[in-house]
Structure 1
């Protein structure tokens, strides 16, 4: 960007709704087209004044430098609080800092590494139920697997009942939230609409599971029966600065937040990796060669991750091309200057990893799935906000290390046992931007069991 002040572009729209129609009709195209207009583009979504920020330096300014002047978007908070309560995804200020400070140690990399065996065990168990030649929805299979893992990590119990109930409730709550985000005018929460009744019913079902678990865990901890699961840690946590402990309601909000953020990102990213491996045999051969060389048919261990370079590259490239958190929203709590332009209080800033990860001015052949972009940890040499699938700054996704470790281990475990085949050679992929970025209609594929990896002679793709 240099020292020149970037031009503030404006995207026109309907006199009343602004660009809301285009945003609702094709959200991904809207984000990519608008990003190509310039580094800062102003537009309206109904009555809301918005700016899409698409320059790495300016993204860093929003997420890091200007973080104290940013807040959760009121619309996002209002919708998410109906399900999550006042958790990390919806809170601001001193309360958010306190919750982040208390929970962060539970998801530190060294703590996450302790869940490696659990992750592999769940992957082996899931693969044991799959039949050779069966047609399956890979997205749904990955959802079930990662949901069982995060449930076990939270509770350290036989999680099938909990995971099944959560799996029934979260998609419904996400679909309701998506519809609410798209409305130019929000329906008052007190109106007893079918949607509101359904939202309250699903939230109550989820809350019941979590509150029961919190109560049981407090009783066990009180009897001296501790554990290393996340829920036990939250029950026992004490804020180092205030000496306070979290209330049951505060723990409930954080547990549901971890559920929402702790399974779908990994599940979707794995789904896209399996899709690309099925499309590109050369990538699949190189992947199998690495698994055979490093693991030789045994389940992976946490110490293997440093040698599973290509496996990690596959996961990171899927996060680039198909970032689950495809756009992020920040509300301007105080007037700021961004890129030399005054941004009024109350404005909404949008940042889109999806648009920036596909920007030809930042990437060579950005639409191509190419794991070798990440060879030799190349991202360490990039601008930190050229690639930001987990956000950045103080509000970077707290579960990013969990997702990276889990993704690599699940790929290495399942990749030795099964392969997924497209139902048609030219099987299309249509992306569906809801709360996260998923494949429209799921990911139907055919599963084949592997007797033993056979990868002799496989070489890295060009």
Structure 2
């Protein structure tokens, strides 16, 4: 598409980069480091040259333009093509009228009353995990959190019909996540189309096929036995739009895959980072334990306790501020527009980074410090609207936000009430900006059971 945009305003400043490939070599080596450096060096708007011109915007006002006021000029970023095979045309990927129809159709499934009903499941699954933990045992923290949130997601979305398939789901999901990470970490693999039969692409394809077989089988079973079971799949099967039309099997499959993948990985990473930060900050852990003792005594938490677990909620919010699972978002500019006072031509890309904005000292004092109490006195209401946006924003804000927050708080409270997690010495805790923001190396912890 040829742009007709003419403006006397200059393009934002930015690094020169290399011939043909621009800044891509530096970016692929260290996305967090170089994006942060460029934002500090060049300001709130930065031109990034590569195979296609891109712009990094880091001011909340410009982010609001991208996600809200200029949204009609934007389309989803090409990076989502990597996940297209597994997510299909689900809410994360779909666009335009189809997305609006699906979002409106599915909103009732995520009303707070329905979401709260999953709270006991979250607590029960966490208690099952802690019952398997032994005092003094060394655990892989990220692996445990991934397994836990996948079990919660699977039972919340499918009910109790799939316990025997859990291993199959875990292995397929692991293969899918490895493909995402591999493709986003290496520039040449990022550009490599899925149909090319490399060993990694073939393993990825088989993993998606395994998930497809399971999901389509469950959909068919539920259509033949349409009993309301309270799980997400049952609810989705009952939903109808204004014309009385429900979702096709393909649409159901795409939405279930979207929630199964996105709904467990991001929460697992939030919990991994929160537990790691608590193990590094004993003063914060002490304050959190005091709240748990006051609110819960010796009993386990329930969904009804959520309004009283304020500090626990703040700890989750603070973990997502420092280590947002979705660390950056991109949009393809489909038509000429203006962002942050700069003309942006059709065919460009715009990038916004939660990781950068959440650590900006203009919005957060001591921005690199883990300080849950900063969220007291309704801090969120006093911030610019897009100074903190771990779940995105605008009309495309994550539909599962309430589910994710409830799960993170309840799991954290249940775990911390029973165990102290001691980081093994000598570990390098470094964030790795793959498709999501995960620790670069495994995080190993020693379990210390709390005395009653």
TM-score tier, shorter chain, comes to: over 0.9
Match of 1:231 in 2: 233
Q: Provide the rounded CA distance (Å) in 2 between the counterparts of 1:6 and 1:265.
A: 38
Match of 2:201 in 1: 196
Match of 2:446 in 1: 446
Match of 1:273 in 2: 274
Q: Provide the rounded CA distance (Å) in 1 between the counterparts of 2:341 and 2:309.
A: 44
Identify the match of residue 39 of structure 1 among 44, 68, 71.
44
Give yes or no for contact 1:41–1:53 (8 Å, CA) kept in 2.
yes
Match of 1:28 in 2: 32
* Offset, 1:6: 10
Question: Which string of whole-angstrom CA distances, capped at 9 and with x for unpartnered residues, describes residues 58-99 of structure 1?
Answer: 1011101111111112x2242221121111111100111111
Identify the match of residue 145 of structure 1 among 140, 144, 148.
148
Q: Provide the rounded CA distance (Å) in 1 between the counterparts of 2:181 and 2:346.
A: 26
Instruction: State the SS of the aligned residue for 2:300.
Output: coil
Q: Provide the rounded CA distance (Å) in 1 between the counterparts of 2:194 and 2:318.
A: 40
Question: Which string of whole-angstrom CA distances, capped at 9 and with x for unpartnered residues, describes residues 257-289 of structure 1?
Answer: 001111111111111121121111111111111
Match of 2:332 in 1: 331
* Offset, 1:175: 2.6
Give yes or no for contact 1:336–1:344 (8 Å, CA) kept in 2.
yes
Match of 1:346 in 2: 347
Match of 1:247 in 2: 248
Instruction: State the SS of the aligned residue for 2:324.
Output: coil
Q: Provide the rounded CA distance (Å) in 2 between the counterparts of 1:188 and 1:343.
A: 28
* Offset, 1:427: 3.8
Q: Provide the rounded CA distance (Å) in 2 between the counterparts of 1:77 and 1:264.
A: 16
Give yes or no for contact 1:148–1:159 (8 Å, CA) kept in 2.
no
Q: Provide the rounded CA distance (Å) in 1 between the counterparts of 2:52 and 2:177.
A: 23
Match of 1:92 in 2: 95
* Offset, 1:388: 0.6
Instruction: State the SS of the aligned residue for 1:376.
Output: coil
Q: Provide the rounded CA distance (Å) in 2 between the counterparts of 1:259 and 1:202.
A: 14
Match of 2:71 in 1: 67
Match of 1:456 in 2: none
Stretches of structure 1 that go unaligned for 5 or more consecutive residues are: 453-462
Give yes or no for contact 2:135–2:449 (8 Å, CA) kept in 1.
yes
The question of 1:428 aligning with 2:428 is answered yes
Give yes or no for contact 1:67–1:394 (8 Å, CA) kept in 2.
no
Instruction: State the SS of the aligned residue for 1:32.
Output: helix
What are the within-5 Å matches in structure 2 for residues 302-451 of structure 1? 302-424=303-425, 427-451=427-451
Q: Provide the rounded CA distance (Å) in 2 between the counterparts of 1:128 and 1:6.
A: 61
Q: Which structure 1 residue ranges, 4+ long, deviate > 6 Å from structure 2?
A: none
Question: Which string of whole-angstrom CA distances, capped at 9 and with x for unpartnered residues, describes residues 105-142 of structure 1?
Answer: 21222211111111111111111111111000111111
Paired positions, count? 441
Q: TM-score, normalised by structure 1?
A: 0.92
Q: Provide the rounded CA distance (Å) in 2 between the counterparts of 1:320 and 1:104.
A: 26
Q: Provide the rounded CA distance (Å) in 2 between the counterparts of 1:28 and 1:77.
A: 19
Q: Provide the rounded CA distance (Å) in 2 between the counterparts of 1:177 and 1:276.
A: 26
Match of 1:208 in 2: 213
* Offset, 1:228: 1.1
Give yes or no for contact 1:220–1:226 (8 Å, CA) kept in 2.
no
Question: Which string of whole-angstrom CA distances, capped at 9 and with x for unpartnered residues, describes residues 40-59 of structure 1?
Answer: 111123x1111111001110
Match of 1:179 in 2: 182
Q: Provide the rounded CA distance (Å) in 2 between the counterparts of 1:292 and 1:178.
A: 40
- Distance change >3 Å, CA 277–CA 78, structure 1 → 2: closer
- Distance change >3 Å, CA 166–CA 25, structure 1 → 2: same
Give yes or no for contact 2:61–2:340 (8 Å, CA) kept in 1.
no
Match of 2:171 in 1: 168
Q: Provide the rounded CA distance (Å) in 1 between the counterparts of 2:256 and 2:170.
A: 15
* Offset, 1:159: 4.4
Match of 1:457 in 2: none
Identify the match of residue 218 of structure 1 among 219, 223, 230.
223
Q: Provide the rounded CA distance (Å) in 2 between the counterparts of 1:190 and 1:55.
A: 39
Stretches of structure 2 that go unaligned for 5 or more consecutive residues are: 1-8
Q: Provide the rounded CA distance (Å) in 1 between the counterparts of 2:118 and 2:11.
A: 48
* Offset, 1:190: 3.6
Match of 1:103 in 2: 106
* Offset, 1:206: 1.2
* Offset, 1:411: 1.2
* Offset, 1:335: 0.8
Give yes or no for contact 2:194–2:201 (8 Å, CA) kept in 1.
yes
Q: Provide the rounded CA distance (Å) in 2 between the counterparts of 1:280 and 1:190.
A: 47
Instruction: State the SS of the aligned residue for 2:150.
Output: helix
Which stretch shifts more, 201-210 or 359-368? 359-368
Question: Which string of whole-angstrom CA distances, capped at 9 and with x for unpartnered residues, describes residues 407-449 of structure 1?
Answer: 111111111111101111x643111111111112221100122
